[in-house]
Amino acid sequence: MIESKNDWLEWVKALLIAVLLAVVIKTYFFTPIIVDGPSMKPTLSDRDQMIVNKFAYRVGEPKRFDIVVFHASEQKDFIKRIIGLPGEHVAVKDNVLYINGEAIEESFLNQNDYLYTWESDFVLEDLPGGYEQIPEGHYLVLGDNRNNSTDSRVFGVIDGDEIVGKTNLIYWPLKRIQIVGE
């Protein structure tokens, strides 16, 4: 009987350790997210399931064209692509992205026979906040589906503290398993 009780306690202990480890990993390192809507097409599709790397920006800084998840509100997280970095000026004219006056190619917009174009030109000063440069610690984010995305053109630049993490691994559906990026 004692041996059976010890076995039971070992199982309970192993289960508690596994649950604790899972909570720590999900809280500090990786968490799943489901893409909601078409704003990141053609790169991401509605209902793609991805892994968010929460640790990436604890050891490094966000880079242009990283796909990030951030808190859009207390109830909702968004997934968008970083386009503008702190200290930069962003503009779009005739479907060309300009960073500090230099044309920047966005090769990810030409994937899978899709060619997404901008609905209209804009400059950073026209966005909420009216900044001449992106403030320190803030980022300009856009969806890849530029004509169907709620992004910095609507809500302005985002605070880096609101970024949950970087994502680039689609794990579901099985036919879409891939690492996405630039």
One-character DSSP codes across 39-63: TTTTTS-TT-EEEEESSHHHHS---
Per the residue annotation, which of 39, 41, 149, 152 is the catalytic one? 39
For residue 76, indicate whether it is catalytic. Answer: no
pLDDT value at residue 25: 74
Tens of pLDDT, residue by residue over 22-71, are 887 777 788 899 999 999 988 999 999 999 999 889 889 999 999 999 99
Count of helix runs (H) and strand runs (E) in the chain: 3, 12
**Is 152 among the residues known to form the active site?**
no
Rounded to whole angstroms, how far apart are CA atoms 146 and 95? 10
* DSSP 8-class letter at 134: P
User: Would you give the DSSP letter of residue 18?
Assistant: H
Spot the catalytic one: 80, 149, 152, 166. Answer: 80
* pTM to 2 decimal places: 0.83
Half-sphere exposure of 114 (CA within 13 A, CB side): 19
pLDDT value at residue 142: 93
pLDDT at residue 21, as a whole number: 82
The pLDDT of residue 29 is: 80
Yes or no: say if 46 and 38 are a contact pair by the CB < 8 Å rule: yes
The residues, any chain, with a CB within 8 Å of residue 170's CB and separated by 6 or more, are 44, 48, 49, 50, 176, 177, 178, 179, 180
- The reported pLDDT for the residue numbered 12 is 85
| Residues with Cβ within 8 Å of residue 106, at least 6 apart in sequence | 65, 97
Protein fold of 31-179 = Umud Fragment, subunit A (2.10.109)
pLDDT < 70 regions, the chain: 1-3, 110-119, 182
Model pLDDT, residue 110: 65
